[in-house]
C-alpha cells in the first residue's frame, strides 16, 4: 500500500518527540502545536482563453511569539491546507533554531504554474495579494519565494500590496535587487546547504573533498547547493529535475550544467547517463541531498538508499516512517530546519535592510549568513553530544525551547 502522508501529523510527531525529550508541559505543547491563524481565499483568474478559473490560496501563520511570522509562498498542484500548515510549523522551528526574530508562516496556491502563461501567473499573484494582503504586514507576516515562486512573483506582490497600503518593499523578501532585494538572497539557501553539509560531513567522517554527492531537484535550492558543493571540492555525480535524472560517475562539470540550465536549456550534460528520479535516490553515493519536494523518501525506498548521509535541502523530504528506518540503519540526517535555513536567514537581512532603507554589500550578507549557520550548527552538534540524540531531535529541542521561552515571557495565556 502506498504510504499516506499527512504532513501536519508528521511534523507534529517530530515536535512530540522533542517535546518529550524536553519534558514540555501539556499546556505548552497544545499552544505550540495549534496554528495561530489559518486563512483560505478563493482566487478567481481570467485565463488567456477567456475562461474563468477559481484557484484556492492559503496562508497559515503558525506562531508569532518570537516576531512577525515568516515563510514562503508555494505554487504547486499538490498544495493544500495540511501541507501549508506543516510547512508553516517548520518555519516556526527554523527561525527559532537560527535565532532570528521571526515566527513561522507559509502560504500557497493550488495551481499548475507549468501549464500557465506569465500573464496568468501575474493575474493569479495579484488577485491572491489583493485577497490575502490584509493578513500580511511588515511587522505581522512577510512572505518569500518557495517552490515555483520567483523574484518576479515577489515583485508583483510588492506592486499589488503597494496599491492599497503604500510602497512597502519589506512586505516580502526574495525580491529582485532593483526593488530592494538583498544581494546574496537568491543563492542563500543553496549556499547554506553547502556550508552545513561540509560542517556535518566533517564531524561524521565524510569530508567534502572528493565526496560523491547526489542532488535531487535543480531549482533555486538544488542548483545553487550543487554549485557551491562543487566549489567546495565535492564530486556531484547525480542530478535531477522534474523531467528526470542524470548520472555521471566521474562528476559533472557543474558550472557548465548550471549555466545551461539558467540559460533555459533545462538539465542536460553531454555524456551523462539518463536514469529515473526513483533510481537516482537509490544510487551509491556519500551524500544524498533531496532538494525538490516533500515526501520523496518513504518507507518503501528508505531501506534501499545507499547514501552514507542525507542532507534535507527540501522541506520534509523524508516521511516519519522513513526517518525511523534510516535512524535504525544509522544513516545520519541533517534536518531541513537546519540545512535549508540559509534562505530565511538572508530574508531576515533583506527585511532589516528594507526597514532601515540601507543596502548591504554582498560580502557582508554572506558573512552574516555564514556566521548564523555556523552558530546554529555548533549549537545543534553540542546538543547531540550532550544528549546523545539525532541531529533532528537536537534541532527541534533547541527551537522548541526558544519558542516556549518567548511564549512564557509574553504571558497572556
Binding site for ligand NAD (CB under 6 A): 145-148, 189, 216-222, 240-242, 277, 291-293, 313-315, 340, 343
Tell me if 389 sits within 8 A of 399, measured CB to CB.
no
H or E element that contains 53: strand 52-63
Cα–Cα distances (Å) from 397 to 129, 223, 257, 313, 338, in that order, read 35, 30, 39, 20, 12
Tell me if 236 sits within 8 A of 229, measured CB to CB.
yes
CB of 140 to ligand NAD, least distance (A): 21
Q: What stretches of 158-243 adopt beta strand conformation (E)?
A: 212-216, 235-241
H or E element that contains 387: helix 362-387
Strand order of the β-sheet with 235-241 is 273-275, 244-247, 235-241, 212-216, 287-290, 309-311, 333-334
Tell me if 351 sits within 8 A of 173, measured CB to CB.
yes
Terminal-to-terminal C-alpha distance of the chain: 44
| Residue from 152, 135, 117 nearest 45 by CA | 117
Please name the residues in contact with 84: beta carbons below 8 A apart, sequence gap of 6 or more. Answer: 58, 59, 60, 74, 106, 107, 108
The residue written with cell numbers 512573483 in the block is 153
How does strand 212-216 pair with strand 235-241? parallel
> Which residue of the set 70, 94, 106, 127 is catalytic?
106
Q: Grid coordinates standing for 373?
A: 549557520
Q: Grid coordinates standing for 116?
A: 500557465
Q: CA–CA separation, 317 vs 321, rounded Å?
A: 12
Q: Is 106 a catalytic residue?
A: yes
> Of 177 and 242, which CB lies nearer to ligand NAD in the complex structure?
242
DSSP 14-32: HHHHHHHHHT--HHHHHHH
Cα–Cα distances (Å) from 395 to 99, 201, 357, 380, 391, in that order, read 12, 17, 33, 6, 6
Catalytic residues: 106
Amino acid at each position: 500500500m502506498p504510504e499516506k502522508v499527512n504532513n501536519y501529523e508528521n511534523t507534529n510527531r517530530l515536535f512530540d518527540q522533542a517535546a518529550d525529550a524536553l519534558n514540555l508541559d501539556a499546556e505548552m505543547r497544545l499552544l505550540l502545536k495549534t496554528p495561530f491563524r489559518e486563512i483560505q481565499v478563493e482566487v478567481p483568474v481570467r485565463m488567456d482563453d477567456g475562461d474563468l478559473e477559481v484557484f484556492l490560496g492559503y496562508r497559515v501563520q503558525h506562531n508569532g511569539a518570537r516576531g512577525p511570522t515568516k515563510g514562503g509562498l508555494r505554487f504547486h498542484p499538490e498544495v493544500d491546507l495540511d501541507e501549508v500548515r506543516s510547512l508553516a510549523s517548520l518555519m516556526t522551528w527554523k527561525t527559532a533554531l537560527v535565532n532570528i526574530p521571526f515566527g513561522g508562516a507559509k502560504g500557497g496556491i493550488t495551481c499548475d504554474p507549468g501549464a500557465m502563461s506569465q500573464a496568468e501567473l501575474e493575474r493569479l499573484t495579484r488577485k491572491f495579494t489583493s485577497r490575502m494582503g490584509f493578513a500580511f504586514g511588515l511587522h505581522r507576516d512577510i512572505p518569500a519565494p518557495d517552490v515555483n515562486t520567483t523574484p518576479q512573483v515577489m515583485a508583483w506582490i510588492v506592486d499589488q500590496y503597494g496599491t492599497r497600503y503604500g510602497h512597502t518593499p519589506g512586505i516580502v523578501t526574495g525580491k529582485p535587487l532593483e526593488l530592494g532585494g538583498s544581494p546574496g538572497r537568491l543563492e542563500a539557501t543553496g549556499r547554506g546547504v553547502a556550508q552545513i553539509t561540509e560542517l556535518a560531513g566533517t564531524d561524521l567522517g565524510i569530508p567534502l573533498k572528493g565526496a560523491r554527492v547526489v542532488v535531487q531537484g535543480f531549482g533555486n535550492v538544488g542548483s545553487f547547493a550543487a554549485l557551491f558543493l562543487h566549489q567546495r571540492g565535492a564530486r556531484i555525480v547525480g542530478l535531477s529535475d522534474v523531467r528526470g535524472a542524470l548520472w555521471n560517475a566521474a562528476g559533472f562539470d557543474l558550472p557548465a550544467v548550471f549555466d545551461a540550465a539558467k540559460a533555459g536549456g533545462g538539465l542536460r550534460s553531454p555524456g551523462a547517463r539518463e536514469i529515473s528520479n526513483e533510481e537516482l535516490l537509490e544510487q551509491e553515493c556519500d551524500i544524498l541531498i533531496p532538494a525538490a519536494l516533500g515526501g520523496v523518501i518513504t518507507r518503501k525506498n528508505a531501506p534501499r538508499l545507499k547514501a552514507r548521509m542525507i542532507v534535507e535541502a527540501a522541506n520534509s523530504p523524508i516521511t516519519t516512517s522513513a526517518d525511523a528506518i534510516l535512524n535504525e540503519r544509522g544513516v545520519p540526517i541533517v534536518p531541513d530546519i537546519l540545512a535549508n535555513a540559509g534562505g530565511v536567514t538572508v530574508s531576515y537581512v533583506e527585511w532589516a535592510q528594507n526597514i532601515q532603507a540601507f543596502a548591504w554589500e554582498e560580502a557582508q550578507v554572506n558573512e552574516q549568513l555564514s556566521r548564523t549557520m555556523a552558530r546554529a550548527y555548533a549549537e545543534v552538534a553540542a546538543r547531540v553530544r550532550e544528549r546523545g540524540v539525532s541531529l533532528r531531535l537536537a534541532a527541534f529541542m533547541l527551537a522548541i525551547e526558544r519558542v516556549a521561552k518567548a511564549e512564557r515571557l509574553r504571558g497572556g495565556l
